[in-house]
Amino acid sequence: MRDNRCSGAYLKYMYFRNTKLRVTTAPQRNCSLRNYSSPPGDVKSLQSVINPHISRIRNIGIMAHIDAGKTTTTERMLYYSGYIRTLGDVDDGDTVTDFMAQERERGITIQSAAVTFDWKDYRINLIDTPGHVDFTVEVERCLRVLDGAVAVFDASAGVEAQTLTVWRQADKHQIPRICFLNKMDKNRASFTYAVESIKQKLKTKPLLLQLPIGEAKTFRGLVDVVTKEQIIWKPTSDLDDGKNFERKLLLETDDPNLFQEVQDARNTLIEQVADLDDEFAELVLGENSENFDLIPADKLQSAIRRITLAQKAVPVLCGSALKNKGVQPLLDAITLYLPAPNERSYEFLQWYKDDLCALAFKVLHDKCRGPLVFVRVYSGSLKPQSAVYNINKSCTERMSRLLLPFADQQIEIPSLMPGNIALTVGLKQSATGDTIVSSKASAIAAARRAGRDAGEKKRSVSGVDSLLLAGVEIPEPVFFCTIEPPSMARQQDLDNALSCLQREDPSLKVKPDPDTGQTILCGMGELHIEIIHDRIKREYGIETYLGPLQIAYRETILNAAQAKDILDKTVGDKRHCVTAEVEVRPRSGKGATTKPIIIYADNVSEVLPKELQGAIENGITNSCIQGPLLGFPVQDIDVTVQSLTVHPDTSHTMVSACVSRCMQKALKKAGIQILEPLMNLEITVSEDHLSAALADLAQRRGNIQEIQSRQDNRVVVAAVPLAEMMGYSTVLRSLTSGSATFTLELASYQALSSQEQSALLQRRMGLIIKINFNRRHVTSFMIHCGLRFPTASRARIIFWSPML
Ligand SMILES: Nc1nc2c(ncn2[C@@H]2O[C@H](COP(=O)(O)OP(=O)(O)OP(=O)(O)O)[C@@H](O)[C@H]2O)c(=O)[nH]1
């Protein structure tokens, strides 16, 4: 029976043979306490539980389009490995990895969850990642520290929009992968269709290691193409949990058609592998050239492993996680074909030798223990009660404890060796993407080695910069809205809550509105902002008010322009005097970057000290954060600093201020064009509802690019301005009786037409009106109109609105 206690902090004890480990649970999470049993009986000692040999570790992620079955597959893995005694279900909201209240209520994964378990003689550190496009950053930061991944597909849908995104992310981090065609039990599930779509859309070479026995309702098992064994799941009398299956050689007499199919599939696999692996090709061309049946399964498996690690092809398996079929062979394949941490090559490891080098990749906030920082150790070891040095923050921090993660529960451990992932307690400064080493001296020594290396290779790597493990690029948010506490007295609490949430979620941006002083929340999508709002209420007990969701437009310039500015100010007894002259030009080519490219005229660069250059660049960058027309970031501009004269006593702050003012003048002169986010939209809709969906798209300035067939459904691929997509899910649901699904992803920024631009300007600027309100009226007025109010001065409000 499942224990559903929720509440404050508690401790329980886990026994590894005779050693008792303390297990703690994050207190603030609304969780159902799961029944974790002790690890499998063949674990020899505590040491082998905590830090298995590196070759026996698999750090893997589960990634896919939304609803492909990642969490269901993960839950089965935990069950078969013995870490949970009862199977949870996404639809019942009781899986181990979806432990946040919002995840359980909505049946979707929002944050990645790490679990550690053993399968046969291997330690698997697994991260279940979200599939919704609003949480793509969450996927990427996990991929950054993983050595391999399982891409899960809905076998009735093949490759879907978000699969492409996560596949590209895995390509970027060069992660070897296995494909798992899930939902083989579903109506319209098709192994052939899914494989074909992997070939076509992911442009990869699938290696079919299994064939399904039956499809949709008749799906009952698999054939292992490598060993020619059939695997059939047999329900026991009262429990069909998938633990009971039979593996035996497939004989021609069992099923002559299937036998022939498997024979052909094995021959094709051998030819494919021989094409991609020279060592195996020699074997095939030598003594076994006449009869492929004689090629030993282990030789074929080793070659498939080499090919997978080199990312020349991807093994494909299939099953139905929900119907408890195919997960144990998937676990075997993870240990067989995905790399151990020491099989991945990282250039930086040679600079650290045996010193500690770790990457912080995720932060969780625990109300009692403070920030819990997830780290992956690449070299050296981590020990509790020790000091570590954060290279990004240039600070030394003390780590008090080390914990192994089991979703929302953790086990305290005495050390962490290379290749492993764990949680640290006590690191207050470290954030996602920070590189952690043992001491400042160790960082300097590694920087020296890296510098020597760079010199030998004639590359320019500047000292400590080369030591930073690449973090994760955080895309600019596309939505924003104001957020208000219920009363001024709770503003500080709200600020604290937001800063904790920001550390957990680097894609969440919080900034003050320079006009009104209000807090602005910027996020990756409607769902993202909704979840943050909900978390503030549940986890921090603050009922906040959100302004209407607005689009994060961009600004750019139409022409080149020059401007000159003189700043002459005396502060105290010091005279600060700067004269700056800049030219701005639109950048050709599509970059969509808000970072201006800065060039110096020869007469400036010749005499420019480094600190002064920093001040100039600060001024230029700051002026691009808020464009001159509507205050949106300015993108795609080149800047030339044509001249600069600075009085000897002038502070760098004054230089920045003067350059920034000069830039604002130049930008205004150059003429501003507003750019709006253009989204890639993919709608999967039945033939019956296709015309309704297309007619609606036409009214949303949608540009339909392609209509594809996906089994019995149609997939509409279109580009639509984000401004037209507010509340689209409700409209699409009513148009298609809830049968259609869609994904939306930022494609680019496009220029607004002059009419659209002036309509936007009117909407946003309107009239300047002064009103006197008391506090209660302000709040209710704000909810109804969603206008922009200054938090600081409640009584006298100045805002812009065309409505009044
Ligand atoms: N028919 C069928 N349904 C499945 C299977 N696996 C999962 N499902 C269902 O698909 C839905 C989504 O499952 P999840 O495991 O939450 O999928 P997910 O990929 O983790 O979803 P997100 O994390 O929200 O992207 C649930 O209703 C599951 O019950 C399967 O093998 N067959």
DSSP state of 93: T
State the Cα–Cα distance between residues 599 and 605, nearest whole angstrom: 9
Nearest-atom number in ligand 1 for the CA of 72 is 15
Q: Radius of gyration over alpha carbons of the chain, in Å?
A: 29
Chain centroid offset of residue 71 CA:
16
Same domain, 569 and 590: yes
Compute the distance from residue 151 Cα to the ligand 1 centre, in Å: 13
Q: Tell me, what CATH number does 403's domain have?
A: 2.40.30.10
Phi-psi region of 131 (alpha: psi -120 to 50; beta: other; left: phi over 0): alpha
71 CB near ligand 1 (under 6 Å): yes
Confirm if 541 and 656 have CB atoms less than 8 A apart. Answer: no
Question: How would you class 415 by CB atoms within 10 Å of its CB: exposed for 0-12, middle for 13-18, buried for 19 or more?
Answer: middle
Nearest of 347, 326, 383 to residue 69 by alpha carbon: 326
State the Cα–Cα distance between residues 152 and 173, nearest whole angstrom: 18
Q: How confident is the model at residue 396 (pLDDT cuts 50, 70, 90)?
A: very high
Q: How confident is the model at residue 613 (pLDDT cuts 50, 70, 90)?
A: confident
Does the annotation flag 65 for ligand binding?
A: yes
Same domain, 72 and 163: yes
Helix (H, G, I), strand (E, B) or coil at 486: coil
Does the annotation flag 131 for ligand binding?
A: yes
32 domain residue, yes or no: no
460 domain residue, yes or no: no
Edge-to-edge strand ranges of the sheet holding 229-233: 210-213, 221-224, 229-233, 245-249
Q: Tell me, what CATH number does 540's domain have?
A: 3.30.70.870
Q: pLDDT by residue (tens digit) across 360-377?
A: 888 888 777 788 888 899
Lowest mean pLDDT among 471-485, 616-630, 657-671: 471-485
In this prediction, residues 379-404 reach a mean pLDDT of: 89
Does the annotation flag 121 for ligand binding?
A: no
67 CB near ligand 1 (under 6 Å): yes
681 domain residue, yes or no: yes
Q: pLDDT by residue (tens digit) across 87-119?
A: 777 777 667 666 667 666 666 666 667 788 889
Same domain, 107 and 241: yes
Compute the distance from residue 80 Cα to the ligand 1 centre, in Å: 18
Nearest of 157, 107, 113, 165 to residue 137 by alpha carbon: 165
Q: Tell me, what CATH number does 289's domain have?
A: 3.40.50.300
In this prediction, residues 489-516 reach a mean pLDDT of: 85
Residue by residue, DSSP assigns 703-771 as EEEEEEEETTEEEEEEEEEGGG-TTHHHHHHHHTTT--EEEEEEEEEEEPPHHHHHHHHHHHH-EEEEE
pLDDT at 230: 94
Q: pLDDT by residue (tens digit) across 652-695?
A: 899 999 999 999 999 999 999 999 999 889 898 888 899 999 99
Same domain, 394 and 425: yes
Q: pLDDT by residue (tens digit) across 193-232?
A: 999 999 998 989 999 999 999 888 889 899 999 999 999 9
Q: Tell me, what CATH number does 719's domain have?
A: 3.30.70.240
Helix (H, G, I), strand (E, B) or coil at 304: helix
Compute the distance from residue 71 Cα to the ligand 1 centre, in Å: 7
Helix (H, G, I), strand (E, B) or coil at 678: strand
pLDDT at 95: 72
Compute the distance from residue 98 Cα to the ligand 1 centre, in Å: 12
Confirm if 119 and 413 have CB atoms less than 8 A apart. Answer: no
Nearest-atom number in ligand 1 for the CA of 73 is 15
Cβ atoms within 10 A of the Cβ of 476, count? 18
Cβ neighbours of residue 475 closer than 8 Å, sequence gap 6 or more: 136, 137, 507, 524, 746
Q: Does the pLDDT at position 45 exceed 50? A: no
Compute the distance from residue 320 Cα to the ligand 1 centre, in Å: 10
Domain boundary among 337, 364, 379: 337
Does the ipTM exceed 0.90?
yes
Q: Does the pLDDT at position 181 exceed 90? A: yes
Same domain, 155 and 214: yes
Does the annotation flag 64 for ligand binding?
A: yes
665 domain residue, yes or no: yes
Does the annotation flag 224 for ligand binding?
A: no
Axis crossing angle, helix 491-504 with helix 526-540, rounded to the nearest 10: 120
Which 3-state string (H, E, C) describes 360-400? EEEEEEECCCEEEEEEEEEECCECCCEEEEECCCCEEEEEC
Confirm if 619 and 666 have CB atoms less than 8 A apart. Answer: no
**Comparing 761 with 773, which gets the higher pLDDT?**
761
State the Cα–Cα distance between residues 272 and 563, nearest whole angstrom: 63
pLDDT at 31: 37
Nearest-atom number in ligand 1 for the CA of 323 is 31
Token output for 604? 């400036």
Compute the distance from residue 95 Cα to the ligand 1 centre, in Å: 11
Domain boundary among 284, 318, 337: 337
66 CB near ligand 1 (under 6 Å): yes
Does the annotation flag 185 for ligand binding?
A: yes
Confirm if 721 and 778 have CB atoms less than 8 A apart. Answer: no
pLDDT at 365: 80
Nearest-atom number in ligand 1 for the CA of 90 is 16
Q: How confident is the model at residue 8 (pLDDT cuts 50, 70, 90)?
A: very low
Same domain, 79 and 184: yes
Token output for 56? 């026996």
pLDDT above 70 covers a percentage of the chain that reads 81
State the Cα–Cα distance between residues 340 and 587, nearest whole angstrom: 45
Does the annotation flag 68 for ligand binding?
A: yes
Nearest of 60, 80, 59 to residue 70 by alpha carbon: 60
Q: How confident is the model at residue 25 (pLDDT cuts 50, 70, 90)?
A: very low
Same domain, 206 and 129: yes
Beta-sheet pairing, 479-484 with 519-523:
antiparallel
Does the annotation flag 198 for ligand binding?
A: no
Number of domains present in the structure of the chain: 5
554 CB near ligand 1 (under 6 Å): no
401 domain residue, yes or no: yes
Phi, psi of 605 (to 5 degrees): -65, -30
Pocket probe mutation, ligand 1, options 62, 89, 90, 215, max atoms within 8 Å of Cβ: 90
166 CB near ligand 1 (under 6 Å): no
Same domain, 292 and 386: no
The boundaries of the domain holding residue 273 are 54-337
Same domain, 298 and 267: yes
Q: Tell me, what CATH number does 661's domain have?
A: 3.30.230.10
Helix (H, G, I), strand (E, B) or coil at 270: helix
Cβ neighbours of residue 465 closer than 8 Å, sequence gap 6 or more: none
748 domain residue, yes or no: yes
Axis crossing angle, helix 687-698 with helix 728-735, rounded to the nearest 10: 140
Same domain, 88 and 114: yes
Same domain, 449 and 435: yes
Nearest of 352, 358, 356, 314 to residue 333 by alpha carbon: 314
Domain boundary among 547, 569, 603: 547
Same domain, 567 and 611: yes
User: What average pLDDT does the chain have?
Assistant: 80
Q: How confident is the model at residue 175 (pLDDT cuts 50, 70, 90)?
A: very high
771 domain residue, yes or no: no
Residue by residue, DSSP assigns 311-345 as TS-EEEEE-BTTTTBSHHHHHHHHHHHSPPGGGS-
Which 3-state string (H, E, C) describes 619-674? HHHHHHHCCCCCCCCECCEEEEEEEEEECCCCCHHHHHHHHHHHHHHHHHHHCEEE
CA separation (Å) from 325 to 64, 213, 219, 243? 19, 11, 9, 9
18 domain residue, yes or no: no
pLDDT at 675: 92
**Comparing 574 with 290, which gets the higher pLDDT?**
574
Nearest of 89, 39, 108, 147 to residue 404 by alpha carbon: 39
pLDDT at 591: 64
Q: How confident is the model at residue 3 (pLDDT cuts 50, 70, 90)?
A: very low
320 CB near ligand 1 (under 6 Å): yes
186 CB near ligand 1 (under 6 Å): yes
State the Cα–Cα distance between residues 440 and 428, nearest whole angstrom: 17
Pocket probe mutation, ligand 1, options 322, 327, 527, 528, max atoms within 8 Å of Cβ: 322
